[in-house]
Chains A and B, each alone.
Chain A
Amino acid sequence: MTTETAPTGPSAKPAQSHELTFAGALKANMRDYGLLLALVLIMLFFQYFTNGVLFKPVNLTNIILQNSYIIVMALGMLLVIVAGHIDLSVGSVSGFIGALAAMLMVGWRFPPELAFLANPIIAGAICLVAGAAIGAAQGYIIAYHKVPAFIVTLAGMLIFKGLSLAVLSGKSVGPFPAEFQLLSAGFIPDVIGPITTPFIAENGNPVVLHTTTMVIAILAIVGMVFFSIRTRARRKARGYDVEPFSLFVIKNVVITALVLFFAYMLASYRGLPNVLVVMGVLIAGFVFLTKRLTFGRRIYALGGNLKAAALSGVKTERTTFYIFAIMGALAALAGMIYAARLNSATPKAGQGLELDVIAAVFIGGASALGGVGQVAGAVIGAFIMGVMNNGMSIMGVNIDWQQMIKGVVLLAAVFFDLYNKNRSA
């Protein structure tokens, strides 16, 4: 034992890095790959049974637009569930914020002297703050007064469901300003200008690509490959084991191919939807938050063992409070995306969404006991639900059957997860 405080240098380590075996590394990441594989299989399944409609550029774009608000909320719900709580209010809160957005921007029941608030940016900011405040209020009761989240947010669900009804007097209110609609219906501008490819689309015309979308995708791929090479090199230099080179290459090639494929699909329609940009930034931010920020680490710690986390100096109450505030803000964003998509606020907006959001997080491998769950899992889980909704609708499956099938998939996913865990224990 030496006197240094936090030994951070690589000095102590003899640089002797090993490559893990291919099978070993594959097994260690089985869960993550398995989930992605499930998504791909489900997509192929529907591609076949919808006679190729699923992978049409316009439909893939639609899937993203239809699920954006679920994914946005799933990010927050992941934190909530990892912390060992639940939030049943997010659907109603998102609906209520939609109504608030209508008040501000459509001028519904709003004093005309405050009309300057109708600017979509100001109104959007107000909505986000309102959502965060609602989340914070619930979080305050949960964190500091120890009322179970299930009960607090169940109450919140009823309250905000009622509030949106009251605010909208049971009517649909719209339309929203065009700028606001862009949030859901807009695509990024093609600043570079379209290019015509030698490929021929189904309608006999050559495929015209949204060049900016392709450039962004390629930049993203380059960045990703650069970072994974750098991480690998740094681990190796410090003498830590790394995954085998073959697997490393395969992984990067597969991801590159997938990203290119989807980018090509989107680019051959209208390009990158604005909402996908928002989602992409949020997803990257939440991956960073959960993996690298001390705040994220503390969430996992308190979800895993609240008492031990508290005795390690984690401010468990404050952390819980922040989590719910973040959740509220995301529910608000989702509510705006939803309202912008429908181009009106309706009293029914958001109802039942919480169930899809929670299901997505659990399909993604989070534990109902807290302490376990990944952002990537929640996002893939949301896409699994989304693709199933989309595919079944195209196939003309009745809504009653759709519900039942989704229920079975949720159960099967969690069951399979637990089964795997027990077997490896």
Chain B
Amino acid sequence: MSKTILEMRSITKTFPGVKALSDVNLDVREGEIHAICGENGAGKSTLMKVLSGVYPAGSYDGQIVYQGEEQHFKSIRDSEHKGIVIIHQELALVPLLSIAENIFLGNEQARNGVIDWDETRDGARKLLSMVGLNEDPDTLVTNIGVGKQQLVEIAKALSKQVKLLILDEPTASLSEKDSQALLELLLEFKKQGITSIIISHKLNEISRVADRVTVIRDGRTIETMDTNQITEDRIITSMVGRSLEDRYPSRDANVGEVVFEVRNWNVFHPQHRERQVIRDVSINIRKGEVVGIAGLMGSGRTEFAMSIFGKAYGQKISGEVHLNGQKVDTSTVDKAIRNGIAYATEDRKTYGLNLIDHIKHNITLANLFGVSKAGVIDDLAELDAANDYRKKTNIRSSSVYQVTGNLSGGNQQKVVLSKWLFANPDVLILDEPTRGIDVGAKYEIYTIINQLAAQGKAILVISSEMPELLGITDRLYVMNEGRIVGEMPTSEASQEKIMRSIVRAEGKAS
């Protein structure tokens, strides 16, 4: 058994009004892949921020022993000097700088302050090949997909002589394929002796790559499992404190006639006028039906949804939206909402939340009419509504007055959902509704979706997790490169069948 590289002893961290961690212990062995699991708000990210010096020594209680010595990191720089590199839940690359510049940001290949560009490019190329990314180091980061950006982050970590790599939900916004590649990379690093800590809500990934798993619940360590003990069921039981019979609530659909229909929808890229992003898409949803759109990352699903929702994406948009047989105007977000359409975004930080304001104001923003009369807000009605939805979606916070920027990732996602549930739409479009959400809370969200459908609403789910789509929808569309390339009842669908429609479409296109 290899020796211990890191030991965190009885770590306690409090924020005003919340005790995020109490007496947490974690020990990590050299060269292993150590997973940390726990519900949203359990304290996983906080623990890693303590470790990496984001929260400096002195702002928490407890000890950190790394490579046999007690450490008092005052900043991220301190921990990086010792080879501890953290990749945060939200990526931190500068979009308008090149890959090479990002990799060496803060650590420039320079002599006397003058950057040596040849060295920078060569170094970047070497690091990129180590992470298996075949891109020109001069490419701007904004021009590559999230999956590749994640690899750039890892290359950046490697450039810092990383010994202990911390990844906070690295695969949350990656496609299946990119996730696989990333996990392979971790296994490769393990062979080279690099230790990793990975936080993830995707338990299948954890059970595949992790050597040991530590579970945290309500800011306390519950247990650490050894390799032979790791099973998804055991992790879940330990996380939520009880076993979860099914991942998806049973669904008996009561589907009526078509309520929502999009016909011949075409959208062009917002900057490049001639680039068509959505091509002649037609879909419909029936009353009480949950419809999914499957597809690879970048297939145009988000762009499609946002262009319907008040032309929030794209230009030269053409096509028709029908609601209950009537053509409706969705040309502005306000009109779309008034017509009963809601879109819950996949990107909670950019499009979903006002991070400097509290939960209450965020939940009611899209439906201020629901808590006001003649433009005057009724404080107490608003407070009631916010508390009600906080309870329904089980948002873990000190109160509805907690600033959303301080919530854990998963709980932020629940605020976005609450906002759109409170808007009480007839047609609800959910874009990656469970991204970063723990297994238990996922089940609750699926249950809410079922209830909404039972009330006769039409629901459209965009998700990159195929098992999720197969588990909760009644019917599926498959989208590829901005076209609908397949449609099937979920009862007849399978991952293979979905992939086949995509591959067939790509074959035709080329």
Question: Interface residues, chain A, CB within 8 Å of chain B?
Answer: 1, 3, 5-10, 12-13, 234-235, 238, 240, 292-295, 297-298, 300-301, 304-305, 307-315, 367, 371-372, 424-425
Q: Is B392 an interface residue (CB 8 A)?
A: yes
Binary per-residue interface labels of chain B (317-346) against chain A in the complex, 1 for a CB within 8 Å, 0 otherwise? 000000000000000111011000001010
Chain A residues with CB below 8 A from B372, complex form: 294
Q: Which of B405-453 contact A (CB under 8 A)?
A: 406, 419, 422, 424, 448, 451-452
* Cross-chain contact A372 with B356 (CB below 8 angstroms): yes
* Cross-chain contact A304 with B377 (CB below 8 angstroms): no
Chain A residues with CB below 8 A from B368, complex form: 294, 297-298
Which among A9, A310, A371 is the interface contact of B333 at CB below 8 angstroms? A310
Can you list 20 A-B pairs with a CB-CB distance of less than 8 A?
Answer: A1-B452, A6-B370, A6-B381, A6-B385, A6-B424, A7-B388, A8-B371, A8-B385, A9-B384, A10-B380, A13-B387, A238-B380, A240-B383, A293-B377, A294-B375, A294-B376, A301-B361, A305-B353, A307-B350, A311-B345
Q: Is B175 an interface residue (CB 8 A)?
A: no
Q: Pick the most buried of B357, B367, B387, B455: most chain A CB atoms within 10 A of its CB.
A: B357
Chain A residues with CB below 8 A from B448, complex form: 1
Which among A12, A295, A297, A371 is the interface contact of B388 at CB below 8 angstroms? A12
Chain B's closest residue to A234 (CB) is B380
Chain A residues with CB below 8 A from B352, complex form: 308, 311
A245–B357 Cα distance when bound, in Å, is 28
A298–B357 Cα distance when bound, in Å, is 12
Chain B residues with CB below 8 A from A371, complex form: 354, 356-357
What distance in Å separates the Cβ of A319 from its nearest Cβ neighbour in chain B? 11
What distance in Å separates the Cβ of A234 from its nearest Cβ neighbour in chain B? 6
Chain B's closest residue to A370 (CB) is B356
Which among A234, A300, A424 is the interface contact of B357 at CB below 8 angstroms? A300
Q: Which of B378-397 contact A (CB under 8 A)?
A: 378-381, 383-385, 387-388, 392
A10–B378 Cα distance when bound, in Å, is 13
A300–B357 Cα distance when bound, in Å, is 9
Chain B residues with CB below 8 A from A240, complex form: 380, 383
Chain A residues with CB below 8 A from B380, complex form: 10, 234-235, 238, 240
Chain B residues with CB below 8 A from A7, complex form: 384-385, 388
Chain A's closest residue to B447 (CB) is A1
Which among A13, A367, A424 is the interface contact of B16 at CB below 8 angstroms? A424
A314–B309 Cα distance when bound, in Å, is 13
* Cross-chain contact A5 with B354 (CB below 8 angstroms): no
Chain B residues with CB below 8 A from A292, complex form: 376-377, 379
* Cross-chain contact B354 with A1 (CB below 8 angstroms): no
Chain B residues with CB below 8 A from A301, complex form: 354, 357, 361, 365
Chain B's closest residue to A288 (CB) is B376
A295–B375 Cα distance when bound, in Å, is 7
A297–B369 Cα distance when bound, in Å, is 12
Chain B residues with CB below 8 A from A311, complex form: 309-310, 312, 333, 343, 345, 351-352
Chain A residues with CB below 8 A from B310, complex form: 311, 313
Contacts A5-B370, A7-B384, A10-B384 hold; do A312 and B361 have CB atoms under 8 A apart? no
Chain A residues with CB below 8 A from B333, complex form: 310-313
A9–B383 Cα distance when bound, in Å, is 10
What distance in Å separates the Cβ of B142 from its nearest Cβ neighbour in chain A? 16
A295–B353 Cα distance when bound, in Å, is 18
* Cross-chain contact B377 with A8 (CB below 8 angstroms): no
Q: Pick the most buried of B337, B365, B383, B387: most chain A CB atoms within 10 A of its CB.
A: B365
What distance in Å separates the Cβ of B433 from its nearest Cβ neighbour in chain A? 15
What distance in Å separates the Cβ of A18 from its nearest Cβ neighbour in chain B? 11
Binary per-residue interface labels of chain B (117-149) against chain A in the complex, 1 for a CB within 8 Å, 0 otherwise? 000000000000000000000000000000000
Q: Is B258 an interface residue (CB 8 A)?
A: no
* Cross-chain contact A3 with B455 (CB below 8 angstroms): yes
Chain B residues with CB below 8 A from A313, complex form: 310, 333-334, 336-337, 366
A68–B365 Cα distance when bound, in Å, is 34
A7–B310 Cα distance when bound, in Å, is 27
Contacts A5-B424, A6-B371, A309-B365 hold; do A304 and B334 have CB atoms under 8 A apart? no
Chain B residues with CB below 8 A from A312, complex form: 333, 365-366, 419
Q: Is B355 an interface residue (CB 8 A)?
A: yes
4 extra interchain contacts, Cβ-Cβ under 8 A, other than A7-B385, A315-B332, A315-B334?
A: A1-B392, A8-B378, A304-B357, A312-B333
Q: Pick the most buried of A235, A292, A305, A312: most chain B CB atoms within 10 A of its CB.
A: A312
What distance in Å separates the Cβ of A241 from its nearest Cβ neighbour in chain B? 8
Chain A residues with CB below 8 A from B451, complex form: 1
Which among A235, A293, A308 is the interface contact of B354 at CB below 8 angstroms? A308
Chain B residues with CB below 8 A from A235, complex form: 380
Q: Pick the most buried of A3, A8, A13, A315: most chain B CB atoms within 10 A of its CB.
A: A8
What distance in Å separates the Cβ of A297 from its nearest Cβ neighbour in chain B? 6
* Cross-chain contact A305 with B334 (CB below 8 angstroms): no
Chain B residues with CB below 8 A from A309, complex form: 354, 365
A80–B392 Cα distance when bound, in Å, is 36
What distance in Å separates the Cβ of B149 from its nearest Cβ neighbour in chain A? 20
Chain A residues with CB below 8 A from B419, complex form: 312
A308–B353 Cα distance when bound, in Å, is 6
Chain B's closest residue to A367 (CB) is B356
Contacts A1-B451, A7-B388 hold; do A304 and B355 have CB atoms under 8 A apart? yes
Chain B's closest residue to A305 (CB) is B354
What distance in Å separates the Cβ of A41 from its nearest Cβ neighbour in chain B? 26
A425–B15 Cα distance when bound, in Å, is 7
Contacts A308-B352, A313-B334 hold; do A293 and B371 have CB atoms under 8 A apart? no
A8–B389 Cα distance when bound, in Å, is 12
Chain B residues with CB below 8 A from A293, complex form: 375-377
Q: Please name the 10 residue pairs, one residue from A and one from B, whose CB atoms are nearest each other, closest first.
A: A6-B370, A304-B354, A312-B366, A8-B381, A313-B337, A294-B368, A305-B354, A313-B334, A312-B365, A1-B451
